[in-house]
Amino acid sequence: MNSDDEIHPAPLVCPRCDQEFEYVEGQWEYTCQNCGYRIDNLRAQFAYSRGYDAFFAGQRVYMEIPPSRRSRLAYAEQAHEAIQLYTQTYTALQEALQATLADSQRYKIIEIMASIANLFIQTGLVSPLESNYWTSLMIEQVNREECDDLKQKLSQPTPGILGPLARLRWRLRKRQLEKAVDRVDRKIKLIEQNIAFVTPLRVRKETPNRMGSYHG
């Protein structure tokens, strides 16, 4: 890529309030000026930034190859460059997930890892089980977000003559999503056991009885 195509580094954000902040070279901890939270995982923040940048650089290279010609020798060098950038992304984001990140960062990492794993499985760089893991995390994330949105709607009055009907649909959909979340939660736990994770990664939102983990 030329200098005009370079992607600006992803901003560093406070894990508690998502406030962006500046840092100086050699700095390894920071106290958020917005909420006062002490950030002692700047290494993870740097890893997230590296992975984020590498992913979008890889996307740019990959999308320049016509979809019908991505397996042709003429585009082998570009395809190789994209895979290298995606591999850097995969490694950097795994490193970042060893620390507690902002929810917005975790959500973005899951989206990115699911996308890359889907590509990697075609070239044998990850196992089907590993690809299934990230896909399942993505499904869980989408379902939880929709469920939370419905809970928010149901917590507020719904004016209008069609309000009761809308609330009924929301309740039915919320029950469907809660069952789907339970199913995918069990599936993710089973995958984690079968892959035999060694180094725990904080990829799922931590609860008293659960902490997601991952090791490539």
The tens digit of pLDDT for each residue in 6-59 reads 445 567 888 888 888 887 777 788 899 999 988 888 888 889 989 999 999 999
Please enumerate in sequence order all residues whose Cβ is within 8 A of that of 210, keeping only pairs 6 or more positions apart, or say none. Answer: 204
Q: Provide mean pLDDT across the span 145-162.
A: 92
DSSP string, 63-93: HTS-GGGTTSGGGHHHHHHHHHHHHHHHHHH
Please enumerate in sequence order all residues whose Cβ is within 8 A of that of 176, keeping only pairs 6 or more positions apart, or say none. Answer: none
Q: Provide mean pLDDT across the span 131-153.
A: 95
Residue type, 4: D
Phi and psi angles of residue 85, each rounded to the nearest 5 degrees, phi first: -65, -40
Residue 144 has pLDDT above 90, yes or no: yes
pLDDT given for residue 23 in this prediction: 76
147 in Cβ contact with 177 (< 8 Å): yes
What are 30's two structure tokens? Answer: 């920071």
- Proportion of the chain above pLDDT 90, given as a percent: 49
